[in-house]
């Protein structure tokens, strides 16, 4: 150990000192301001590596696994090496670190050669790196009195600079600009001087736990599953209302989405499925009020899909990755970048979802995960516009049963878009034999409430198919289509479009093969859009079947035909109902319903 390192160790008490205690001076605004003033931050978003080149470090599955270092700017592989990696990869200035075979191993970032190794004596919790140092958190001891440690190591030599212990559990750390951020017992975030290991100040979450921490070259964020704080002097309040706090609307169908990995879960210090359900965002400085998201929105990566949202939670675009899941993603400030299990890279415009780049990362096996060091980067390639309708349709028609909830989000978002093409795609879901029934039920409800006049010609066309024994055809989704047409009640419709719709509905009204539940819906649909033109057909239908054992004796049919003629008819229809009620051949139940309707 050289003299400088020795002096640092003596000053910092390399043998350990209790920095993380249950009692401390928390949420001191002046101390926080002083600590933040010591940060050496980039003036604009930039990669961590000393070359400031956008890079990705990919981990391939296998025995052993393979690390692939990739230069995003030149689209070239920097190096590949086999390694028994048991964690994610953390990026330093000119090195990367990871847990390999129970050792913290640093590799030269430009060539991949091992620079130094350090045994992990205890249970690994997490690690991180900044431009000059690597940091490791581990737990020693078992039973009722374990000890947690945070250690700092020189990025060039691996020499230990300092280590400090804790009276309770520490989470995986984060670091940048000369500070180390260490979560403590889910309630506190300690801010430690990277040079000495001295705690500069500590924040205590008053109305929210602290279980996630993330640094960029310009900002630090911390929070929980509920939301995130941007670290600034306002964070000293410990409260959401008085801090720069952000909370986005996460659709219930994307319920596994989080703002960052759980720093107390050692499993998540490796690449896991949790990396595939993440809120991606960047922010703008704000001296007061809630957090301001760059571009007025945020993005959610959810397994194979990426969704863009406005600040009010309205979906603005969608991307569906073909075949393979996206196993890692990041927001560079100018692009959403993600890598698929197949090794494909995709870069999207955060505002529009336009595809900025699709390329191969030079992998040969399946990708387990990746760490991006690419802040401020976006490819210069020509953009490929995303068709949101096509993307949502692809999601809705996906036959992967794991994502049935996502399909519900897709059809719900699709139904908010106008146009007959959208209606046609929703009807296609109903015709898909492999689509789950719950999704079909959702589509039917959406068709009923959509109230888009452009839908009527499409719905009419869907009614063209009838039961035909010789042709072996059956009507497709007759009840659902009738419900959708009934949902257009009160919408201003073109009479030229209504006439063929009524004719198509009447063809099913008159068809002997139409079952009673569908007949009821057809009657409702005709009454909803007919404007009086439906009355002759419905009156004839009543006269034809009022004494029929099946129809005349069915309470649902009785009520539907009576309501349609009583509420939507004129004096002539009411007289018809009176005569039918007086007819001795009329089924008793139907007569009773007519008399009750007249009395009301």
**pLDDT tens digits for range 59-99:** 999 999 999 999 999 999 999 999 999 999 999 999 999 99
Does residue 1 surpass a pLDDT of 70? no
**Residues 371, 91: contact at Cβ < 8 Å?**
yes
Q: Specify whether the CB–CB gap between 556 and 520 falls below 8 A.
A: yes
From edge to edge, which strands make up the β-sheet containing 212-215? 212-215, 220-223, 228-230, 245-246
* pLDDT classification of 597: cutoffs 50, 70, 90: confident
pLDDT given at position 7: 36
Most confident of 9-23, 377-391, 525-539: 525-539
Query: What CATH fold (topology level) applies to the domain 406-599?
Result: 1.25.10
Alpha-carbon distance of 188 to 545, in angstroms, equals: 75
Determine phi and psi for 416, rounding to 5 degrees. -80, -10
What is the full DSSP assignment across 316-341?
A: EEEEE-SSSPEEEEEE-SS-EEEEET
- Specify the pLDDT at position 600: 77
The conformational region for residue 322 under phi > 0 = left, psi -120 to 50 = alpha, else beta, is beta
Q: What is the pLDDT of residue 166?
A: 93
Residue 18 is predicted with a pLDDT of 58
Q: pLDDT tens digits, residue range 280-335?
A: 999 998 778 889 999 889 999 999 999 999 988 999 999 999 889 999 999 999 99
Mean pLDDT (the chain, rounded): 93
Does pLDDT of 574 surpass 60? Answer: yes
> Which candidate, 347, 335, 348, 337, places its Cα nearest to that of 371?
337
As a whole number, mean pLDDT of residues 509-529 equals 95
pLDDT of residue 143: 74
* pLDDT over 70 (residue 4): no
**8-45: per-residue pLDDT in tens?**
343 344 444 557 877 778 999 999 999 999 999 999 99
The pLDDT tens digits for 150-206 are: 999 999 999 999 999 998 999 999 999 999 999 999 999 999 999 999 999 999 999
Question: pTM higher than 0.85, yes or no?
Answer: yes
Assigned token pair, 518: 């569908």
**CA–CA distance, 384 with 349 (Å, rounded to integer):** 10
Calpha distance 138→266 (Å, rounded): 10
Give the three-state DSSP class for 142: coil
φ, ψ (nearest 5 deg) of residue 133: -130, 160
Angle between helical axes of 516-530 and 495-509 (0-180°, round to 10): 160
The domain limits of the chain are 8-373, 406-599
If you average pLDDT over residues 550-567, what whole number do you get? 93
**pLDDT for position 3:** 36
Give the pLDDT confidence of 135-144 residue by residue, as tens digits.
Answer: 999 999 877 7
Architecture in CATH of 8-373: 7 Propeller (2.130)
pLDDT per position as a tens digit, 423-458 = 999 999 999 999 999 999 999 999 999 999 999 999
pLDDT in tens, 207-257: 999 999 999 999 999 999 999 999 999 999 999 999 999 999 999 999 999
Q: How far apart are CA 233 and CA 489, in angstroms?
A: 56
Q: What is the pLDDT of residue 569?
A: 84
Provide the pLDDT for residue 145. 84
Of the candidates 112, 4, 29, 103, the one whose C-alpha atom is nearest the C-alpha of residue 67 is 112
């Amino acid at each position: 150990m050289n003299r400088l390192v020795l002096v640092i160790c003596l000053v910092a008490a390399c043998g350990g000192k209790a920095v993380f205690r249950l009692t401390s001076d928390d949420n001191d605004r002046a101390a926080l301001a002083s600590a933040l003033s010591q940060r050496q931050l980039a003036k604009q978003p930039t990669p961590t590596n000393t070359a400031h080149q956008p890079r990705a470090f990919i981990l391939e599955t296998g025995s052993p696994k393979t690390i692939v270092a990739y230069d995003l700017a030149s689209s070239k592989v920097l190096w590949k090496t086999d390694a028994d990696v048991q964690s994610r990869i953390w990026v330093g200035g000119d090195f990367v670190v990871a847990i390999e075979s129970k050792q913290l191993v640093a590799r030269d970032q430009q060539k991949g050669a091992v620079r130094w190794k350090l045994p992990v004596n205890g249970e690994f919790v997490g690690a991180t790196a900044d431009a000059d140092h690597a940091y490791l958190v581990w737990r020693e001891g078992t039973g009722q009195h374990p000890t947690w440690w945070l250690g700092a190591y020189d990025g060039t030599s691996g020499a230990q600079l300092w280590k400090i212990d804790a009276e309770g559990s520490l989470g995986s750390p984060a670091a940048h600009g000369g500070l180390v951020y260490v979560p403590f017992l889910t309630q506190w975030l300690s801010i430690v001087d990277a040079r000495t290991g001295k705690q500069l100040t500590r924040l205590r979450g008053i109305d929210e736990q602290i279980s996630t921490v993330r640094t960029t070259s310009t900002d630090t964020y911390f929070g929980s599953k509920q939301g995130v704080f941007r670290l600034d002097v306002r964070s000293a309040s410990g409260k959401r209302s008085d801090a720069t706090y952000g909370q986005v609307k996460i659709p219930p169908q994307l319920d596994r989405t989080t703002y960052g990995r759980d720093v107390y879960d050692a499993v998540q210090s490796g690449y896991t499925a949790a990396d595939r359900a993440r809120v991606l965002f960047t922010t703008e400085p704000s001296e007061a009020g809630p957090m301001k998201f760059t571009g007025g929105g945020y993005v959610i990566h959810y397994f194979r899909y990426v969704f863009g949202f406005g600040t009010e939670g309205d979906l603005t675009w969608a991307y569906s990755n073909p075949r393979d899941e996206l196993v890692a993603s990041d927001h560079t400030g100018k692009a959403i970048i993600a890598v698929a299990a197949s090794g494909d890279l995709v870069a999207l415009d955060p505002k529009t979802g336009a595809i900025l780049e699709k390329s191969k990362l030079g992998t040969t096996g399946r990708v387990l995960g990746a760490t991006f060091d690419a802040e401020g980067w976006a490819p210069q390639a020509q953009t490929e516009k995303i068709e949101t309708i096509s993307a949502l349709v692809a999601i809705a028609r996906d036959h992967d049963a794991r994502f049935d909830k996502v399909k519900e989000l897709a059809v719900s978002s699709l139904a908010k878009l106008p146009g007959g093409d959208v209606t046609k795609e929703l009807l296609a879901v109903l015709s898909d034999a492999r689509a789950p029934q719950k999704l079909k039920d959702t589509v039917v409800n959406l068709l009923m409430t959509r109230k888009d006049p452009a839908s009527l010609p499409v719905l009419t066309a869907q009614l063209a198919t009838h039961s035909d024994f010789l042709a072996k055809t059956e009507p497709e989704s007759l009840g659902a289509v009738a419900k959708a047409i009934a949902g257009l009640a009160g919408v201003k419709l073109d009479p030229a479009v209504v006439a063929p719709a009524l004719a198509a509905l009447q063809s099913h009204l008159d068809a002997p093969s139409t079952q009673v539940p569908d007949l009821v819906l057809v009657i409702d649909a005709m009454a909803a859009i007919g404007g009086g033109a439906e009355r002759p057909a419905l009156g004839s239908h009543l006269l034809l079947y009022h004494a029929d054992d099946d129809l005349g004796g069915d309470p649902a049919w009785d009520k539907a035909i009576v309501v349609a003629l009583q509420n939507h008819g004129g004096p002539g229809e009411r007289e018809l109902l009176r005569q039918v009620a007086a007819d001795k051949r009329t089924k008793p139940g139907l007569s009773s319903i007519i008399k009750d309707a007249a009395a009301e």
